[in-house]
Amino acid sequence: MKIAFIGGGNMAAALIAGLAGKVTPGTNIHVVDPNPAQLEALHAAHGVTTGASIDAAVTAAEVIVLAVKPQAMREAVAPLVPLLAQAGHKPLVLSIAAGIRSADLARWLGGYDAIVRCMPNTPALIGMGITGLVAAGGVNVAQRTAADQVLRAVGGTVWLDDEAQIDAVTGVSGSGPAYVFYFIEAMQQAAVELGLSAAQGLELAKATFTGAAQLAAQSSEPVALLRERVTSKGGTTYAALTSMEASGVKAAIITAVKAAAARGHALGDELGRD
Ligand SMILES: NC(=O)C1=CN([C@@H]2O[C@H](COP(=O)(O)OP(=O)(O)OC[C@H]3O[C@@H](n4cnc5c(N)ncnc54)[C@H](O)[C@@H]3O)[C@@H](O)[C@H]2O)C=CC1
Ligand SMILES: O=C(O)[C@@H]1CCC=N1
């Protein structure tokens, strides 16, 4: 499978790391980015071919991944319009951008509708990503399968029926790794304030997240039950969870996830106006 990336930044690098040499040889991946340092790093790591601008090497691909910032998308895809019209086949356009709606993207692409919109996350870098996807009207079965294959190479996939749901995916799992890192940072800081070294605190916090997340992933029991098993009546965990409830931590997390989803929706409104 030939895959092209428009934008070779953080998220593209995470996807390419999972794809190169697994789904397709690195030499079958073409990356377009105006930043030469970015291209050089990706070429050195994975053997991808590169270009500073969009040309026929992009539309020769079966899958074109749009991986620029939402605000850069409209301008970035403009050079694709004549090339898609000339291509002898119909490549799948796979957008990973937060907020940008398929209908706006289709309009910017001159009415091109073979579009899958998706929301991956950075653990893709180590094959542990999770991606929500939704197909626009012009996507055929083979293209849907290709999109699934690309994202499955870097983790799990969850298909959605309704594009409006993808803002929720953005809030939960697209942005989610940052919440987990934030929690690890807070646990490390607490460890230091309690007299452990920064290195000890980091090791304990990271291993706790890895272990608890794996336990939840591998267990068929409800997560609430796993939590209750840690929590002895009148014990230490009870003291911590009571403190969290009193500080409104759960409510704050729910509000934060909703803020991310709302920002995704607002980006779609703002950028789709043009
Ligand atoms: N970072 C993350 O955790 C996630 C990001 N996303 C989405 O991925 C997209 C990219 O995000 P990041 O990789 O974090 O950003 P980034 O800033 O690391 O990468 C964007 C890249 O696009 C390049 N670029 C800018 N204009 C261009 C153009 N006209 N043609 C080609 N390349 C161009 C930039 O030089 C840069 O290397 C965004 O739309 C974001 O919403 C989705 C899921 C998770
Ligand atoms: O923060 C952002 O806008 C992107 C989308 C999801 C994760 N990072």
Domain ranges of the chain: 3-166, 176-264
Q: Is 96 in the pocket of ligand 1 (CB under 6 A)?
A: yes
β-sheet with 129-135: strand ranges across: 49-51, 29-32, 3-6, 63-66, 92-95, 115-119, 129-135, 155-159
Q: Which pLDDT tens digit goes with each residue over 234-273?
A: 999 999 999 999 999 999 999 999 999 999 999 999 999 8
Distance of alpha carbon 159 from the chain centroid: 14
Atom of ligand 1 nearest to the CA of 11: 13
Residue whose CA is closest, atom 8 of ligand 2?
A: 175
Domain 176-264 has CATH 1.10.3730.10: yes
Q: Is 79 in the pocket of ligand 1 (CB under 6 A)?
A: no
Comparing CA positions, the residue from 149, 130, 134 lying closest to residue 62 is 149
Partners of 131 in the β-ladder: 157
Q: Are 75 and 6 spatial neighbours (Cβ–Cβ below 8 Å)? A: no
Residue whose pair of structure tokens reads 């098993």 in the numeric block: 229
Q: Which pLDDT tens digit goes with each residue over 122-156?
A: 999 999 999 999 999 899 999 999 999 999 999 99
**Residue 272 labeled ligand binder:** no
Mutate to test the pocket of ligand 1, among 33, 40, 73, 271 (most ligand atoms within 8 A of CB): 33
Q: Which pLDDT tens digit goes with each residue over 152-192?
A: 999 999 999 999 999 999 999 999 999 999 999 999 999 99
**Residue 8 labeled ligand binder:** yes
Residue whose CA is closest, atom 1 of ligand 2?
A: 175
Q: Are 134 and 116 spatial neighbours (Cβ–Cβ below 8 Å)? A: yes
Q: Are 48 and 29 spatial neighbours (Cβ–Cβ below 8 Å)? A: yes
From the CA of 10, the nearest ligand is 1
Scanning the chain, the segments in alpha helix (DSSP H) are 10-19, 36-46, 56-59, 73-77, 80-86, 102-108, 141-152, 166-169, 176-193, 198-218, 223-230, 236-247, 249-272
From the CA of 266, the nearest ligand is 2
Q: Which pLDDT tens digit goes with each residue over 64-93?
A: 999 999 999 999 999 999 999 999 899 999
Flag whether pLDDT at 274 surpasses 80.
no
Partners of 116 in the β-ladder: 94, 135
Q: Which fold has domain 3-166?
A: Rossmann fold (3.40.50)
CA distance 171 to 175: 6
Per-residue pLDDT, 50: 98
Per-residue pLDDT, 99: 96
pTM of the model: 0.95
Residue whose CA is closest, atom 24 of ligand 1?
A: 7
Looking from the CA of 64 toward its CB, the CA atoms found within 13 Å total 29
Q: Are 90 and 31 spatial neighbours (Cβ–Cβ below 8 Å)? A: no
How many Å lie between the centroid of ligand 1 and the Cα of residue 66?
8
Q: How far apart are the first and last CA of the chain?
A: 34
From the CA of 132, the nearest ligand is 1
Comparing CA positions, the residue from 3, 7, 5, 4 lying closest to residue 68 is 7
Mutate to test the pocket of ligand 2, among 169, 175, 263, 270 (most ligand atoms within 8 A of CB): 175
| CB-count exposure of residue 90 (10 Å: 0-12, 13-18, 19+) | middle
Q: Is 15 in the pocket of ligand 1 (CB under 6 A)?
A: no
From the CA of 69, the nearest ligand is 1
Cβ neighbours, 10 Å, residue 152 = 15
Q: Is 53 in the pocket of ligand 1 (CB under 6 A)?
A: no
Tokens of 74: 């409209």
Per-residue pLDDT, 273: 82
Atom of ligand 2 nearest to the CA of 122: 7
Q: Are 184 and 212 spatial neighbours (Cβ–Cβ below 8 Å)? A: no
The number of residues in the chain equals: 274
**Residue 254 labeled ligand binder:** no
- The residues lining ligand 2, judged by C-beta closer than 6 Å to any ligand atom, are 98, 170, 174-175
ipTM of model: 0.98
Q: Which pLDDT tens digit goes with each residue over 108-121?
A: 999 999 999 999 99
